[in-house]
Amino acid sequence: MHCERFREAASARMDGEGSPVPVAALDEHLDRCPACAAWESTAASVTRRARLAPAPAVPDLTATVLAALPARLPGAAAAARSRLVTTALRLALLAVGVAQIGLATPSLLDGAGAMSAPVHMAHETGAWNLGLAVAFLACAAAPRLAPGALPFLVTFTVVLTVMTVADLDAGHVHADRAVGHLLLVAGVLLTATVAWRDRRGRSSRATAGVRVLA
């Protein structure tokens, strides 16, 4: 019974665990007890053989796995084209925003661009154009903002288009000024397209995430 305690301590030391008896006492007992010393030697040999046993041979499946992979991942080309189209739309919207700033600047700086209207009205027109430019630039930089900007942009564009057609018919506005509003129409169409593609992309990613979790 006394030896059993020391053998348990020797086993724990071989396994890297805490010894239930002091190390000095264990070594002293092994020096004085041939039976426990022989038991420790046998146990150490068995443990060493178990730890150093060669691993079973595993076949090399690298070639088989690589051969089973498709030449191109499904949807990779379509995803690349989608990113390219989205980038082109955002760059186009960026260009519209910069051009809109170009329209706003003369009215804001010197009151030009409002025909015979008072200077303050020219400044108001410039402020509107600058606000539109910032909206376009923000949607180009962060497409997630596009859906929120659409209600304002679409309402403003529709009302302006209807009034411009009426003013053209009545002779209240020159055709060259009316043509300048086409930049606004282009910006709204680009914003709507960017919003639609961003929403579709987020829906696709959410669906893919659900499939992975399933």
pLDDT tens-digit profile of 14-69? 777 777 778 888 788 888 888 888 888 888 877 777 666 666 777 887 888 777 76
Q: Looking at the domain assignment, is residue 61 inside a domain?
A: no
Q: How far is CA 162 from CA 103, 165, 169, 171, 177, in A?
A: 21, 5, 11, 14, 15
Q: How far is CA 44 from CA 30, 41, 50, 194, in A?
A: 14, 5, 10, 71
- pLDDT of 167 higher than 70: yes
Locate 158 and state its tokens: 């529709």
> How many Å apart are CA 163 and CA 169, to the nearest integer?
10
What pLDDT does residue 71 have?
62
Instruction: Look up the domain containing 169 and give its range.
Output: 81-213
What pLDDT does residue 204 have?
64
Domains held by the chain: number: 2
Segment 3-14, tens digit of pLDDT: 888 878 888 887
Contacts of 10 (CB under 8 A, 6+ apart): 26, 30, 36, 39, 40, 43
> How many Å apart are CA 92 and CA 35, to the nearest integer?
89
Taking the model in full, what pTM does it have?
0.56
Contacts of 144 (CB under 8 A, 6+ apart): 198
Q: Looking at the domain assignment, is residue 7 inside a domain?
A: yes
Q: Looking at the domain assignment, is residue 55 inside a domain?
A: no
Angle of CA points 65, 71, 75, to nearest 5°? 115
> How many Å apart are CA 15 and CA 26, to the nearest integer?
15
Locate 64 and state its tokens: 């088989």
Q: Looking at the domain assignment, is residue 164 inside a domain?
A: yes
One domain, residues 115 and 190: yes
Q: Where are the alpha helices (DSSP H) in 17-145?
A: 23-32, 34-51, 62-68, 76-110, 119-141
Match 């399933």 to its residue by tokens. Answer: 214
One domain, residues 32 and 99: no
**Numbers of helices and strands, H then E, in the chain:** 9, 0
Contact yes or no for 140/90 (Cβ under 8 A): yes
* Mean pLDDT score, 71-85: 74
Q: Looking at the domain assignment, is residue 57 inside a domain?
A: no
